Amino acid sequence: MILVKGFNVFPREIEEQLMSQSNVSSVCVVPKQDNRSGETPLAFITLNRQIDISILKEYCEETLSPYKVPSEFTVLESLPLTPAKKVDRAALKNSLI
């Protein structure tokens, strides 16, 4: 869970919205510390084909509450996985430091 301006934001909700886009092959949303709002969501994504990331940002702005829209979108070749083959959220969070 991400706490943004006192609101609980569930990463899964944002991930599901982004996964509904045909260009997105995988996504992971993690929190980043923010001085003004406590935390802010960040989206790490992999794409099926190259697109302008502003399209995804606009889509999120149209379909999610403003405080749920990721502040950054980072495109990766692949998401890091744990030995159990699940997305390694800790590794993504640590990459922000």
* 81-85 LR contacts (CB < 8 Å, sep 24+): none
Q: What is the pLDDT of residue 61?
A: 97
CATH architecture type of domain 2-94: 2-Layer Sandwich (3.30)
Residue 55 in tokens: 């399209």
Residue 80 in tokens: 């890091």
- Using CA atoms, how far apart are residues 97 and 93, in angstroms rounded to an integer? 8
- List the chain pLDDT tens, one digit each, 97 residues: 999 999 999 999 999 999 999 999 999 999 999 999 899 999 999 999 999 999 999 999 999 999 999 999 999 999 999 999 999 999 999 998 6
